[in-house]
Amino acid sequence: EVQLLESGGGLVQPGGSLRLSCAASGFTFSTYAMSWVRQAPGKGLEWVSSTGGRGTPSYYAESARGRFTISRDNSKKTLYLQMNYLRDEDTAVYYCANHNWDDGRFDFWGQGTLVTVSS
């Protein structure tokens, strides 16, 4: 059974940093692209970033480019999202998902971790 478990969310001040983690199990982690998707309170889903099975290539939404960095440690079966220069509008539940590179779908999702950016 595929399981994705996010952690690392919390309250951070504007301009601060946070690193999210996503522990994976139940599939061959290194062979799957992985992604982060977020949902702001009362809003819809927004793709944030994706990375290939070996950590490259990596792609970012315009809102994340230059501030967020996606990475992975295949030995630990863990995906990361380093978020710097956080803004109020980054407040959201952040989901990790495994990603089918061929057609762009997000196959399995975690339960999400809440990031709140507020002073």
Q: Which residues bind other proteins (CB under 8 A)?
A: 35, 37, 44-47, 50, 59-62, 95, 97, 100, 103-111
If the CB atoms of residues 44 and 119 are measured against other proteins, the closer one turns out to be: 44
Which amino acid makes up residue 102? D
CA distances from 108 to 2, 6, 10 (A): 7, 13, 23
For other proteins, the closer of residues 53 and 61 by Cβ is: 61
Smallest gap from residue 22 Cβ to other proteins (A):
13
Nearest to 115 by CA among 53, 68, 55: 68
| Closest CB to other proteins among residues 39, 74 | 39
What's the CA gap between 1 and 3, in Å, rounded? 6
